[in-house]
């Protein structure tokens, strides 16, 4: 198993909303550390979908519609979407 080298910002994911029942079992309030090296148990479809944004976010980049160090992303399941909040902070 690959080891997360701890590069870039530390990113914490919190499940904000689940509409319906998530097939992967994610539930509102779940919190976990996630990175480009560690999917942290996030559904593979969701992780694949957010990876470009996660990569930009983890390494300090921004997109014009992002404000500060918090973003929200939604999984690609149109029937049972899950929304997560990513928050980044400098590693100590």
pLDDT digits (tens, 9 = 90+) for 49-89: 999 999 999 999 999 999 999 999 999 999 999 999 999 99
Of 78, 91, 92, give the one whose Cα is nearest residue 11. Answer: 91
Contact 70, 11 (CB under 8 A): no
Decide if pLDDT at 2 tops 80. Answer: no
Decide if pLDDT at 1 tops 80. Answer: no
Give residue-wise pLDDT tens across range 18-56. Answer: 999 999 999 999 999 999 999 999 999 999 999 999 999
pTM (two decimals): 0.92
User: Which token pair is 16?
Assistant: 């904000």
Rounded-to-integer distance, Cα 17 and Cα 6, Å:
28
């Amino acid at each position: 198993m690959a080891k997360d080298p701890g590069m870039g910002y530390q990113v914490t994911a919190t499940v904000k909303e689940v509409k319906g029942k998530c097939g992967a079992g994610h539930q509102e309030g779940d919190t976990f550390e996630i990175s480009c090296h560690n999917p942290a148990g996030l559904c593979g479809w969701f992780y694949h979908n957010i990876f470009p944004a996660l990569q930009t976010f983890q390494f300090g980049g921004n997109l014009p519609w992002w404000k500060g160090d918090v973003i929200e992303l939604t999984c690609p399941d149109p029937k049972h979407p899950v929304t997560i909040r990513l928050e980044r902070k400098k590693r100590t």
